[in-house]
Amino acid sequence: MPAEGGHPRPTLPASGFAALDAMVRPRSVAIVGASDDATRIGGRPIAYMQRQGFAGTILPVNPNRPTVQGLPAFASVTALPQTPDVAIVAVPGESAVQAVDDLGAKGCRAAIVFTAGFAEVDEAGQAMQDRLVAAARKHGMRLLGPNCLGLFNAAVNFYPMFSLSFEQGWPLPGNIGIASQSGAYGTHVFAVSRQRGIGTPVCITTGNESDVSLGEVIGWMAQAPEVEVICAYAEGIRESARFTAALDLARRNRKPVVLMKVGRSELGGHAAKSHTASIAGDDTITQAVLDEFGVVRANTTEQMLDIAYAATKRIYPVRNTMGVITVSGGAGVLISDAAEAMGVAMPPLPEASQAHLKSLISFCAPRNPVDCTAQAVNQTELFPQFLETTAEAGGYGSMLVFLTQTGGSTTMAPKLRPYLKQAREKFPDRLWVLSAIASADKVKAYEEDGYLVFEDPTRAVAAIEAMGRFGTAFAAPPPEEIVVPDVTLPATTPTEAEGKRILAKAGVPAVPEKACVSADEAVAAAESFGFPVVAKILSPDILHKSEIGGVILDLADAASVRAAHATLLQRAAERAPGARIEGVLIAKQIKGAVEMALGVARDPVFGPVAMVGLGGVFIEILKDVSFRRCPFGEAEAERMIRSLKGFPLLDGARGRPKADVKALAGALAALSRFAAGAGDRLLSVDVNPLLVLPEGQGAFAADAVIEVEDGK
């Protein structure tokens, strides 16, 4: 069954992700390398669990002590009186490998490996990590780490982690889960959220990801009752199947994912690889995958927590228009600028509603933002009319109320709060956001009334925008059924003519053309197509013909075709002397078309990814392109096309005829199916230009390059 977006349903359903329960919700835990010193790596987890009241059995393993922190200790894994659900491994090097083997033989289902010095260090460390994984897999055991800070699940008071962050406080009640490849950064997010009063009861860090990956952790959270909102930090995506399956499950379960993906820059990508031995990947492709599943990307910790905090209200407007009530005209302008920059629509109130508000305060500005001025808080009985008229008449999905210090005023806040609460209760389906400067107790009171509270109105707009993106993703229609064809690629990279024949068979039609060896053949082909025609050098070794002058346009008669045939052969001999020349390609020259470009690139993590953009030289200059994992259907292809900034060129801008967008979408979807069926030997496809004729007349490839991996 295809997944949402047109992909085969990933092989890890919710029940597969739930297999991590033994690691995250155990009834017993062993600590190999347990320390009596509560400040050491092998001692902190025991101290934390005892302090917080973990209800399960704690089994310290230490051959040198009869007790550890008041608990009976055992000399070895084999000496344990019972089989633990999970074990913490805090012993060095080969001792860790042996401990995992012993635990697996004992029947332990999972291990959390603190030990560092594995693949993140060097090749010898990678070899030792391979032995660690082999030992676990021999027994069907799951591994978190190595080089892992651990995890915590405050719902069951389970703290297999050696972070110092608990010295400043414990997780607050809440529903946000943190999944992080970096242990230090994951606990940093936890510590900042705690300072902001945001509850994050679950945090899981993955370290080197020798087995359990970030995707699997996100998937566990997507089906876990402890978590309703997921914050994730990624340095690189190790494998795509579990990652995309997890994002798919989170979307289907209406659980927002806010992800900070670092490693965009060359320097950042290198740092990510050396830190967790992961591949940063192409950021453009990663972004396309995140967009596909409705994941909202955060650039800062503050932004991540703002969005996660907003998501805890679980209101995700699909039609995310925003109404604004403000006591400051200046703030209204600031908010309007932010909304326009972020793509949040602010439609005006109906004229009748504007007139009604004008009748209440003649000098108010009632369009949207609705500036009720300070008079509405001077005459507090007017304030609820502004709130409720704007919410009801505007029908906005989100409401932002800017009160600045008034919202925290000891004299005014008690008068305004009941009106704010009343408005939210009358329109509970709206996302209500307050921008105010207030004490912690007043902020908490507003939050208890159902409001989100931000001091900075621009941050409030960003959070509102993110809730709309979640809403759109959660409301996405069922996917198109995608049938992936069986594709047989040639043994080596084909010529342009052969490449176009392959693509035409797949559903990407080409302009009429013929490969010609002699000048006479070239003339005959041109006369059969009708002038004008295009002549191109035909060689499997010359992929970019224009760079050697290998394309001649506007050939209007037989004489010019003969001359072009000779010129192209001469240029090839002079400018690409080692290239194999198979003749000259004569093609019908189409005019009055919009030049587009289609392409496929094979991403090392996510596989084939299709691209559409403006064609010719514009694709490299403007970089106005849209990407999507393959395969997908015509509806998704059209969405990609319409997302381009240059789409007006296809839609009849400045008196142009409307282009055949349907044919273009059909060619793009067909290319995506071809790429999905072609397998790993397909390296890339470049169709540039694809000539899109006026509506109803089709779209045709004028040039195409298919690159395949030789020798397989």
Q: What is the pLDDT of residue 711?
A: 62
Decide yes or no: CATH 3.40.190.290 for domain 14-311: no
- Could you give the CA distance from residue 691 to residue 702 in angstroms, rounded to a whole number? 7
**Is the model more confident about 703 or about 49?**
49
Mean pLDDT of 119-130: 95
Q: What is the pLDDT of residue 238?
A: 82
For the chain, the average pLDDT equals 92
Domain-by-domain residue ranges, the chain?
A: 14-311, 322-474, 512-588, 594-708
Q: Is the pLDDT assigned to residue 1 strictly greater than 70?
A: no
Mean pLDDT of 651-663: 91
Q: Is the pLDDT assigned to residue 11 strictly greater than 60?
A: no
What superfamily in CATH does domain 512-588 come from? Answer: ATP-grasp fold, A domain (3.30.1490.20)
pLDDT band with cut points at 50, 70 and 90 for residue 679: very high
Which residue pairs from 120-125 have beta carbons closer than 8 angstroms and sit at least 24 positions apart in sequence?
A: 120/147, 120/208, 120/274, 120/275, 120/276, 120/277
Q: What is the pLDDT of residue 379?
A: 93
What superfamily in CATH does domain 322-474 come from? Answer: Succinyl-CoA synthetase domains (3.40.50.261)
Q: Is the pLDDT assigned to residue 4 strictly greater than 60?
A: no
Give the number of other CB atoms < 10 A from CB of residue 487: 17
Q: What percent of the chain has pLDDT over 70?
A: 95
Q: What is the pLDDT of residue 15?
A: 53
Q: Which residues contact 393 (CB under 8 A, 6 or more apart)?
A: 349, 350, 352, 353
Q: Is the pLDDT assigned to residue 3 strictly greater than 50?
A: no
**Is the model more confident about 493 or about 435?**
435
Q: What is the pLDDT of residue 712?
A: 55
Mean pLDDT of 66-73: 98
Give me the DSSP letters along 534-554.
EEEEE-TT-S-GGGGT-EEEE
What superfamily in CATH does domain 594-708 come from? Answer: ATP-grasp fold, B domain (3.30.470.20)
Q: What is the pLDDT of residue 267?
A: 44
pTM: 0.89
pLDDT band with cut points at 50, 70 and 90 for residue 10: very low
Q: What is the pLDDT of residue 554?
A: 95
**Least confident segment among 83-92, 259-268, 481-490, 508-517:** 259-268
DSSP helix/strand/coil, 163: coil
Q: What is the pLDDT of residue 496?
A: 87
Question: 621-641: string of b/e by CB count within 10 Å (b at 16+)?
Answer: eeeebbbbbbbbbbebbbebb
Q: Could you tell me how far CA 466 lies from the centroid of its own chain? A: 13
Question: pLDDT tens-digit profile of 601-638?
Answer: 998 889 999 999 998 766 777 778 999 999 999 999 99
Q: Which residues contact 212 (CB under 8 A, 6 or more apart)?
A: 20, 23, 142, 143, 144, 206
Question: pLDDT tens-digit profile of 437-458?
Answer: 999 999 999 999 999 999 999 9
Do 14-311 and 322-474 share a fold?
Answer: yes
Q: What is the pLDDT of residue 212?
A: 96
Q: What percent of the chain has pLDDT over 90?
A: 86
Q: What is the pLDDT of residue 622?
A: 72
Question: pLDDT tens-digit profile of 347-384?
Answer: 999 999 999 999 999 999 999 999 999 998 889 999 99
The angle at the Cα of 317, spanning 435 to 459, to the nearest 5 degrees, equals 30
Q: Which structure tokens are listed for 330?
A: 């200046």
Which residue pairs from 39-44 have beta carbons closer than 8 angstroms and sit at least 24 positions apart in sequence?
A: 41/90, 41/114, 41/162, 42/88, 42/90, 42/91, 42/114, 43/68, 43/69, 44/161, 44/162, 44/163
Q: Is the pLDDT assigned to residue 481 strictly greater than 90?
A: no
Question: pLDDT tens-digit profile of 382-417?
Answer: 999 999 999 999 999 999 999 999 999 999 999 999
Q: What is the pLDDT of residue 13?
A: 46
Question: pLDDT tens-digit profile of 166-211?
Answer: 999 999 999 999 999 999 999 999 999 999 999 999 999 999 999 9
Q: What is the pLDDT of residue 283?
A: 85
Question: pLDDT tens-digit profile of 260-297?
Answer: 998 765 544 444 433 333 333 478 889 999 999 999 99
Mean pLDDT of 52-79: 98
Question: pLDDT tens-digit profile of 682-710?
Answer: 999 999 999 999 999 999 999 899 999 98
